[in-house]
Structure 1
């Protein structure tokens, strides 16, 4: 099975568990301050979420007052996003689309790749095409924000089992555990889900493969795509990469200003990695 078929198969089975795995309220508490600071300090008004999943960032950033559109290659995720966003009147803001095939159209101040989405692309050629798609969707001087696993750290530790979520709700229990297989050219996340409802437990395993993009490769490909002024963080508290060695990697970079290539970038230069 090729990576594209595997990806569609994974999300067709995991889509209805996705928002349990990463609840929106928890994500707002974790990410809200980061986005307010980054977007406000860079004069952002419009955003395209290039891997929008079930619509979380479209909703959160729209609530903050930004114009947000979302695309995702998975029709299953877009179906769920439209369900989630319908009551907010935002369901027409998301559509099925591949960032690698973005064509000239509306330009945005910010492009997002959140939640370990970019590593769904296998091979430098495809990663570069995805970055070039985001670059092309930006206005000059616009920024890209990429959030993914810090694969350098994951491969250094090679932890086999990582507890991710355990919570009790009014009608049951939700638990998710990662069992990770490490290979030279891919990393396999086996997601064990235990969801109890009304005293009846259900147990499932979903499997997804990722391209273990290391930090140096990502920096090189971003620069090759045309981005500059990279700032690297290890969490949404904006601590510089490498301070505590978390499993998160967040990169902020800018599309070059053509009107004045010598213009100094104005965003958080002191936080460069």
Structure 2
């Protein structure tokens, strides 16, 4: 099975539950201040979200006044993003593209490109990773800003935590439970997600499995510099604490064209 087919299969299966797994209110509280600060400091007006998923960043950044477009490989996630944008009274143009094709298809050039939520490690092999990063570079205006958010796989592999904190929410008769387990391999890391979605006492069980390339921070630096990015900065959370100062598994990278 090809990488592209696996990605389609995973996101098609989880699209209607993804926003339960990643509650928007929690994400906005965690990320909004970071984006306000860094986009303002870099005079950003236009943003391309290169893995827009169900549209969280499209909605948030549009509501903050930015000219925002999206890209995603999964038609099912794009359908959810379109629905979410409409619910918030917004519209953004979303390209159904592989990130490795964006610079040859999208004519517009942006002040900022982002790839959030551990999306970049769907790419396996240095050649594919480099192609994705280079395409992000090429759709930026001169001096443009790139923001990447992914797992710090060096930290994950150091600790080899098998289970990560589960998610439980209840709202009246609606109960959502997500349990996460990680399998560590030499060249891949597999996230197993058990979800229990209960409505009016009727539970629905699903198991979704997604494989990632455990790309190290050092490899990210190497490939971004090879693509032409300058001034790389590595943070471990959205408070912009420098990588390595706590036990966070988040990795946030900023760089300029």
Deviation (angstroms), 1:89: 4.5
Quote how far apart the aligned CAs of 1:141 are.
0.3
Superposition deviation, residue 201 in structure 1: 1.6
Report the Cα distance in structure 2 between the residues aligned to 1:90 and 1:99, rounded to whole angstroms: 23
In structure 1, what is the equivalent of residue 215 of structure 2?
213
Distance 1:221 1:245 in 2: 25
Q: Partner residue of 1:4?
A: 4
Contact 1:14 1:206 in 2 (8 A): yes
Q: How does 1:31-180 map to 2 (within 5 A)?
A: 31-102=31-102, 103=104, 105-180=107-182
Distance in structure 2 (CA, Å) of the matches to 1:162 and 1:168: 20
1:243 aligned residue = 245
Say which is worse superposed, 89-98 or 220-229, in terms of deviation. Answer: 89-98
User: Any stretches of 5+ residues in structure 2 without a counterpart?
Assistant: none
In structure 2, C-alpha distance between the alignment counterparts of 1:3 and 1:185, rounded to whole Å: 14
Q: In 1, distance between residues paired with 2:83 and 2:56?
A: 12
Count of residue correspondences = 255
Native 8 Å contact 1:175 1:193 kept in 2: yes
Using the TM superposition, name which of 103-112 and 6-15 deviates more: 103-112
The match for 1:190 is 192
Look up the match of 1:261: none
Once the 2 structures are TM-superposed, how far is the Cα of residue 3 of structure 1 from its aligned partner? 1.7
Q: Runs of at least 4 residues of structure 1 off by over 3 A?
A: 87-92
Alpha-carbon offset, residue 108 of structure 1: 0.4
C-alpha displacement at 1:83, in angstroms? 1.0
For 2:101 and 2:90, how far apart are their aligned partners in 1? Answer: 23
Q: Once the 2 structures are TM-superposed, how far is the Cα of residue 62 of structure 1 from its aligned partner?
A: 0.5
- The RMSD of aligned alpha carbons is 1.1
Alignment TM-score, normalising by the size of structure 2: 0.97
Q: Which runs of 5+ in 1 are unaligned?
A: 256-273
Q: What's the counterpart of residue 254 of structure 1?
A: 256
In structure 2, relative to structure 1, the CA distance for the partners of 1:229 and 1:181 (3 Å cut) is same
Residues 68 and 92 in structure 2, CA contact (< 8 A), matched pair in contact too? no
Please state whether the residue corresponding to 2:112 is helix, strand or coil.
strand
Q: What CA deviation, in whole Å up to 9, does each residue of 1:182-238 have, x standing for no partner?
A: 111111111111111111122210000000000100000000011010111100111
Separation (CA, whole Å) in 1 of partners of 2:92 and 2:241: 36
